[in-house]
C-alpha cells in the first residue's frame, strides 16, 4: 500500500484508510465483534495504517472495537477519533446536541484514550462545528492536549472556510474530514483551494456515496429502519432511479480500466490531489480487497478531464441530508 502525507503536517498514512463507523453504527445493528476484529486486522496486514472512529459511533462501541482489535499494532497504525457531541446520558444511540466546550473536549480525550488503549490520539477531530463555542477556544483546548502529549494532530470535520482559517491560526489543522465524492463535489468550490493554500490534508468520508457508487443499488433497494440511509433524501426510490446516470458513467470507465465502479470512484479521488486520503468503510472482507485495489488503478490527466466533463452533465437528485443535519455542516 502506498503512503501519503496529510498536507504539510508530516502525518504519513496509507493512501486509503478505513472508516470504521458502519461496524457499530448507522448501517443497521452492530456487526459481529469477532468478524469485525478479523476485518480490522486483515486491513493492517494488507497495508492500511489509517483508521477512523468516533465516540458517538455506538456510542463508544466503535472506539472499544477499534482499540481492542488494533492493540497488537500499537505504534504502527494511525487512529483518528472525534469529539463534539453531547451524548444521551442513558448511553442510547444518538446525541442531545453539540458540545465543544474546552472542559468537555479534554474529558472526551481522556475517555477515548482508555477505550482506544493508546497513550496518545494520533488525530483528534472536532466532529461538527459548535456555533456556541468560538473555534479559537476549541483549537486552544486541542493545543493544550497536544502540549500535554495526549494528542498529536488537530482536525476539523465539515467546517467552513472561515472556521478552518480561524482554527488554523490558533493550532495548525492537520486534516479536514468532510464528505466528498463524484456525487458530492461542493468542497471543490472553496474548501479544497483553502486546504491547498494552508497545507491541510483532506480526508473524504463517504467517498463511495454511502454505497451508491459501488453500483450495487437500484430503485428497488430497501434499507432497514435502523440504517440511516432510510432517512436520507438521496436514497429514496425516486432518487436512486434518477441518480443511476452517475453509476453508469463509473461502469463505463471501470470497464475500460478493468476495474469496478467503486475502484474508479476512489481512484478519481486519489488522482485529484496527492494529499487526499479517502476512508471508505466496509464490513466485508471482499469489499475491503476491492477498495484497496483502487490504489493501483491509474487515471491519466485525459481520464480525469473526461470524467469531469461527463460528471458535469449529470444532475444529482436529492439532498444528501435532511435539513437539520445539513445545517450542521459548512459552518
What φ, ψ does residue 281 adopt, rounded to 5°? -105, 155
Q: Locate 164 and state its grid cell.
A: 478552518
Other beta carbons within 10 angstroms of residue 305's beta carbon come to 11
Catalytic residue among 27, 57, 125, 180: 57
What φ, ψ does residue 111 adopt, rounded to 5°? -70, -40
d(CA 87, CA 93): 8
Active site residue 205: no
Residue 12, beta-bridge partner list: 5
- Is the CB of residue 202 less than 8 Å from the CB of residue 195? yes
d(CA 160, CA 148): 28
The answer, yes or no, to whether the previous bond of 59 is cis (omega within 30 of 0) is yes
DSSP 218-241: -TT----TTBGGGG-GGGSHHHHH
Positions marked active-site:
57
Amino acid at each position: 500500500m502506498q503512503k501519503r502525507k496529510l498536507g504539510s503536517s508530516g502525518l504519513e498514512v496509507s493512501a486509503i484508510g478505513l472508516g470504521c463507523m458502519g461496524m457499530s453504527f448507522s448501517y443497521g445493528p452492530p456487526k459481529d465483534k469477532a468478524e469485525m476484529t478479523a476485518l480490522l486486522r486483515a486491513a493492517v496486514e494488507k497495508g492500511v495504517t489509517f483508521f477512523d472512529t468516533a465516540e458517538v459511533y455506538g456510542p463508544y462501541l466503535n472506539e472499544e472495537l477499534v482499540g481492542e482489535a488494533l492493540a497488537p499494532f500499537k505504534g504502527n497504525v494511525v487512529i483518528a477519533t472525534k469529539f463534539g457531541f453531547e451524548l444521551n446520558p442513558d448511553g442510547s444511540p444518538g446525541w442531545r446536541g453539540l458540545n465543544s466546550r474546552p472542559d468537555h473536549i479534554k474529558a472526551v480525550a481522556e475517555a477515548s484514550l482508555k477505550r482506544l488503549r493508546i497513550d496518545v490520539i494520533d488525530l483528534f477531530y472536532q466532529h461538527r462545528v459548535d456555533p456556541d463555542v468560538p473555534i479559537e477556544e476549541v483549537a486552544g483546548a486541542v493545543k493544550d492536549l497536544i502540549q500535554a502529549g495526549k494528542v498529536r494532530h488537530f482536525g476539523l470535520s465539515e467546517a467552513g472556510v472561515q472556521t478552518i482559517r480561524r482554527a488554523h491560526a490558533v493550532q495548525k489543522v492537520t486534516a479536514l474530514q468532510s464528505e466528498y465524492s463524484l456525487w458530492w463535489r461542493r468542497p471543490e468550490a472553496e474548501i479544497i483551494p483553502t486546504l491547498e493554500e494552508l497545507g491541510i490534508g483532506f480526508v473524504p468520508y463517504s467517498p463511495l456515496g454511502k454505497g451508491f457508487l459501488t453500483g450495487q443499488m437500484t430503485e428497488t433497494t430497501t434499507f432497514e429502519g435502523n440504517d440511516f440511509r432510510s432517512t436520507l433524501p438521496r436514497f429514496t426510490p425516486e432518487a436512486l432511479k434518477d441518480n443511476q446516470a452517475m453509476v453508469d458513467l463509473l461502469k463505463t470507465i471501470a470497464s475500460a480500466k478493468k476495474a469496478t465502479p467503486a475502484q474508479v470512484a476512489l481512484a478519481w479521488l486519489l488522482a485529484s490531489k496527492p494529499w487526499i486520503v479517502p476512508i471508505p468503510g466496509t464490513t466485508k472482507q471482499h469489499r475491503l480487497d476491492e477498495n484497496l485495489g483502487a490504489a493501483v488503478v491509474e487515471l491519466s490527466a485525459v481520464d480525469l478531464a473526461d470524467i469531469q466533463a461527463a460528471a458535469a452533465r449529470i444532475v444529482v437528485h436529492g439532498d444528501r441530508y435532511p435539513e437539520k443535519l445539513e445545517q450542521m455542516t459548512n459552518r
